[in-house]
Amino acid sequence: MEAITQEQVRGVLQSAIQAPSADNHHPVRFQLDGSHILVHHTRTAWEQPGYQRVLDLLSLGALAENLAIAASQYGVKADMRLFPDPEQPGLALSIDLQPDVTQADPLWHEIPNRHTSRQFRFRGPPFNVTERAQLDAITYAHPSCTLHWLDTAADRKPVLALMRRAETERFHNPVLHEELFSAIRFDVGWRDTSETGLPPGALGVELPLHGLFSTLRHWPVMRMANRFGAHHFLGLRSCDLPCRLAPNLGVLTVKKTDTASVFEAGRVFQRIWLTTTRLGRVLQPMPASALYALDGADAAGIPKALQQDLAEGWKIHFGSLVPVMLFRTGKAKPPLVTAGRPAIEQFLEKS
């Protein structure tokens, strides 16, 4: 007898794709064989330096964590092997669903409730001691990752400077501007969601600024506006102030940026996010300043001087630990528009 029915496997995969991903796009396909799942990824070069691979690994880790949590509700353990076959670099995961006696992971209730919130102002109070201990405990089982909190204004000041520089660059650099705006689905309008990409309504842009923000997707307009300092304003509005005012600002670091460690960080980050949701808080990831500091980021269009400044800045703060994710959390009303997902059939390999 199979450990899990095919209907339940579909439910588990449905939960897996509810995981967050960079730009709301999981480039994976699932191949099913009873209680065995193969996860194929469109990326095949995993050792490449740079930040795109880190984004892909973090997103894959989040997907894997959701899958494991969802499987636990059926009394099933997901035994995973990352990159099981060196001959098939596109085969990201091999997963065996095995009967398990441990209890269902209570975080499975939060999978459908978790969304990215980009409201300008998250309100307090910060996590209390018990809540903080719950979040910190997540990393204890994952020695490759460390969670840091930036609580005081003095702690935040140098970090905010690094974050602001990176976010400002997203509006100042034509390559990053294209990367940012091409992910936004202006075609669906401000009230609807989209199955992939970022629906504009989920971006937390205030109603009077909708028209202006849409126009800035055209690089000549953005370049012209930057002559008047638009990029500085946007860096302040989209990152510095929201993070400065947030009740909590967190950073997840890894000891090494090898594939296994970054994948693990993605799993840990997803547990942090689901636990944050369980504690009645919302979260926004803001990893740009960490990602643009990585070796090889300059090959993807990040100015060399910026990459070096960010890398040096992080070294002063965290020594040999490498940040891979930054995020703000707090209380806010649920967003009116959230990112959708394609139907699960679109992720299934035809047998």
Ligand X SMILES: Cc1cc2nc3c(=O)[nH]c(=O)nc-3n(C[C@H](O)[C@H](O)[C@H](O)COP(=O)(O)O)c2cc1C
By CB under 6 A, the residues from 207 to 266 that bind ligand X are none
Q: Output 3 or 22, the one with its CB closest to ligand X.
A: 22
Task: Return d(Cα 300, Cα 284) in angstroms, integer.
Answer: 24
Site for ligand X in 163-192 (CB under 6 A): none
d(CA 165, CA 275): 30
Binds ligand X by CB under 6 A, chosen from 22, 111, 188, 310: 22
- The separation between the first and the last C-alpha atoms of the chain, rounded to the nearest angstrom, is 21
| Residue 66 CB neighbours (<10 A) | 28
Phi-psi group of 213: left, alpha or beta (phi > 0 → left; psi -120 to 50 → alpha; rest → beta): alpha
List 21, 253, 277, 307, residue binding ligand X (CB under 6 A): 21
287 scored as a contact of ligand X (CB under 6 A): yes
DSSP 349: P
Question: Which range in 16-24, 157-165, 217-225, 306-314 contacts ligand X by CB under 6 A?
Answer: 16-24
Task: Report if residue 337 touches ligand X, rule: CB under 6 A.
Answer: no
244: which residues sit within 8 A by CB, 6+ positions away? 156, 160
Residues 332 and 282: beta-carbon distance below 8 Å = yes
> How far is 170 from 302, CA to CA, in rounded Å?
9
Amino acid at 63: L
Taking residues 24 to 63 in sequence order and writing x for each that binds ligand X by CB under 6 A, - otherwise, the string is: x------------------------------x--xx--x-
Tell me if 3 contacts ligand X by CB under 6 A.
no
CB of 51 to ligand X, least distance (A): 10
Contact with ligand X (CB under 6 A) among 284, 289, 307, 329:
284
Contact between 20 and ligand X by CB under 6 A: the answer reads: yes
Distance CA 122, CA 281 (A): 9
Regarding 118 and contact with ligand X (CB under 6 A), the answer is yes
CB of 80 to ligand X, least distance (A): 18
Comparing CA positions, the residue from 44, 94, 105, 23 lying closest to residue 72 is: 105
List residues binding ligand X (CB under 6 A): 20-24, 55, 58-59, 62, 115-116, 118, 198, 284-288, 338-339
